Structure 1
């Protein structure tokens, strides 16, 4: 499926949650949708999934608007960090409802994941711990097999081992059957290696859309004496630089081998660090 975002805007009273955002997603990949709180990520996901209308511009999925469009909403599964399910329903009834809604539903996978996360099908949602409710959301998202599957901080309450289990399942299912997975998270270091493409929102605007591998290869942290680093970065796009005594480290758009050839220490920048610096950068 192809997602076209054209000058998308959403305004709440005096706040622009999204401000003329434009980009296209055309391939089944794992996309990392990153940004600080209030960047516009959740608003974008709500519009994409057909839950709310934009104030301006549009999102088109295969040329159609997803709002009030059952053919498209059957192809989109959005799992938020909480309140995905009616509190009085039993787990088995939640699964039955979603199985009815999604034509691509995989009941065998749902049953396997229920056992994997040790959930009681007869338990009511309101009786679940936060971690168990998150596990149920993950199960629904994975078993939906929706061509566009969106996870918005889906692991709240899960411990590190349970989160790792989720990441392993997600990669395994993605490799078995490709789909478009949009993953929004603040635990970037845990999942950044899964991302094939990264989008960063800041104050309702798109500040970066780039292939993850290109991003990793085109940015680096260079360290050396202040004079050496300043000479190297003089003609380059600098993200951030820090100086202590006579030594300097700069985050810069440059080839790591080029920096090493200049006698500097160079290493990759973690995606989380890069996102923080990009969203702090004046005028980003």
Structure 2
């Protein structure tokens, strides 16, 4: 690592360990001009896991992230953050102790354009009890973010990289990345993913990745939450969610007979052959029956499940 002077260095004394936090919502509703962005949402984020928050544009992902971080007050219901050094559950809104331990990095950056990068880092260090200056310096070097420039002089990609640095170096017990890496090119995003996994392995905490780049992050995720129109479509461990879908391919009549009891997500026909994507558990006996009937059974990727589960106007049929 090249020499850098981060004005954050002497601002805080770093605790030895960051403690993962849990979060839950109870009947959470947030409205804009009377229109619900979140509609009676009940969910729980288990501590010490990497959660994927998935949804199409306008599904409520950013509103949920902002409410979890205390940036926004619920119209109904509540958010509770608990565990770690917080002890009992507490609401984050206007709670300085909780918000110092919850870091939200948004695509907009929430950065002061006229500030120097090193001053932004210094401010972050003064607000984050688990801030790691050495990690921040290493990431700045790897992303090639200059500390002597003003934020407004950075390219969009470098601003996104600075957001990633702030999020990872905060080592906040609950860290939320809300599409913050969209301004980064593919190599920079891959660098972010690698850095996140490496630091998560060193200091486990609760991480939420809000994204629609499902194929890029699917291998990193442990649990998935899918939102659609402000409501929770599903919350599931990734492996369990992948196991809920299958593609069945074979003669049309045989496929139709076999899939009659499943929720059908999609269908395609080519001549006398049909491919049907179903949602449901295929146990070993069912798989054996399918193959005995001459059908091909294949997995459905997380990206495809996400698309099917959130396709407006394409409601699954039974």
So what's the TM-score if we normalise by structure 1?
0.96
CA–CA distance in structure 2, aligned partners of residues 219 and 31 of structure 1 = 20
Please say if 1:38 is aligned against 2:58.
Answer: yes
Could you tell me which residue of structure 1 aligns to residue 287 of structure 2?
Answer: 259
For residues 64-104 of structure 1, the C-alpha deviation after alignment (integer angstroms, 9 at most, x for no partner) is 11000011001100001123210011111111100010000
The structural deviation recorded for 1:247 is 1.6
Preserved contact between residue 222 and residue 259 of structure 1 (Cα < 8 Å): no
Could you tell me which residue of structure 1 aligns to residue 71 of structure 2?
Answer: 51
| Secondary structure of 1:262's aligned partner | helix
1:7 to 27, 49, 64: 27
Could you tell me which residue of structure 2 aligns to residue 276 of structure 1?
Answer: 307
The structural deviation recorded for 1:261 is 4.7
Preserved contact between residue 219 and residue 256 of structure 1 (Cα < 8 Å): no
CA–CA distance in structure 2, aligned partners of residues 256 and 29 of structure 1 = 28
CA–CA distance in structure 2, aligned partners of residues 238 and 9 of structure 1 = 31
- Which has the larger Rg? 2
- Structure-2 change in CA distance of 1:123 and 1:260 (3 Å): farther
CA–CA distance in structure 2, aligned partners of residues 177 and 269 of structure 1 = 32
Q: 4+ runs of 1 displaced by more than 6 Å?
A: none
CA–CA distance in structure 2, aligned partners of residues 184 and 267 of structure 1 = 28
Could you tell me which residue of structure 1 aligns to residue 249 of structure 2?
Answer: 223
Which has a greater percent of helix? 1
Stretches of structure 1 lacking an aligned partner (at least 5 in a row): none
2:142 to 101, 116, 120: 116
For residues 126-150 of structure 1, the C-alpha deviation after alignment (integer angstroms, 9 at most, x for no partner) is 0000000000000000000000000
The answer to which of 215-224 and 93-102 deviates more is 215-224
So what's the TM-score if we normalise by structure 2?
0.86
The structural deviation recorded for 1:256 is 7.5
1:209 to 235, 246, 261: 235
Could you tell me which residue of structure 2 aligns to residue 141 of structure 1?
Answer: 167
CA–CA distance in structure 2, aligned partners of residues 208 and 127 of structure 1 = 41
Stretches of structure 2 lacking an aligned partner (at least 5 in a row): 1-20, 83-88
Could you tell me which residue of structure 2 aligns to residue 237 of structure 1?
Answer: 263
Preserved contact between residue 30 and residue 195 of structure 1 (Cα < 8 Å): yes
The structural deviation recorded for 1:202 is 0.5
CA–CA distance in structure 2, aligned partners of residues 13 and 157 of structure 1 = 30
CA–CA distance in structure 2, aligned partners of residues 90 and 193 of structure 1 = 36
Preserved contact between residue 53 and residue 210 of structure 2 (Cα < 8 Å): yes
State how 1:7-86 maps to structure 2 within 5 Å.
7-62=27-82, 63-86=89-112
- Structure-2 change in CA distance of 1:106 and 1:192 (3 Å): same
The answer to which of 252-261 and 17-26 deviates more is 252-261
Preserved contact between residue 264 and residue 316 of structure 2 (Cα < 8 Å): no
| Secondary structure of 1:189's aligned partner | helix
